[in-house]
Amino acid sequence: MMDFLRRLMYGRYGNDSLNQFLMVISMILLIPFFITRWRIFSLIILVLIVIAYFRMFSRNTYRRAAENQKFLSWFTPLQRKATGKKMQMADKTHRYYKCPSCKKTLRVPRGKGRISITCPHCKYKFVKKT
Ligand SMILES: [Zn+2]
């Protein structure tokens, strides 16, 4: 069985981040499909799965890798932003503010009352309750 799979996948592209993303999106779309029973959802799910399998069995590995690279250049910053927000929410000893001037994120200790915050990047001063 393993030998059969190995021979089947020989020279083919296989799985990557874009395929995993397509599969996750199609799994998420199952929820509204089961609730509403609208055929449009099943159609979208089918298209996503067909694309994912086409990419997986494709022999044009160079092109598939380029697609994945394009996807990652869009997806990685979003992912990084999401994990940053999650870490900020988990931090109970600090509060996070955006500098009104340069938009950089600043971390200040929580529970100090109204304090004047000086941005270390642009030296802009603003008052916030912590
Ligand atoms: Zn600033």
Q: Spell out the residues 6+ positions from residue 65 whose beta carbon is closer than 8 angstroms to its own.
A: 13, 16
Does the pTM of the predicted model rise above 0.85?
no
Angle, alpha carbons 76-47-75 (nearest 5°): 5
Can you give the pLDDT at residue 111? Answer: 92
pLDDT tens by residue, 47-70: 999 999 999 999 999 999 999 999
Can you give the pLDDT at residue 13? Answer: 93
Please list the ranges in the chain whose pLDDT falls under 70: none
Cα distances (angstroms) measured from residue 28 to each of 31, 39, 68:
6, 15, 21
| Tokens found for residue 12 | 């083919």
CA of 116 to the centre of ligand 1 (A): 13
Q: Is 60:69 a contact under the CB 8 Å cutoff? A: no
CA of 105 to the centre of ligand 1 (A): 8
CA of 120 to the centre of ligand 1 (A): 7
CA of 48 to the centre of ligand 1 (A): 43
Can you give the pLDDT at residue 1? Answer: 79
CA of 104 to the centre of ligand 1 (A): 6
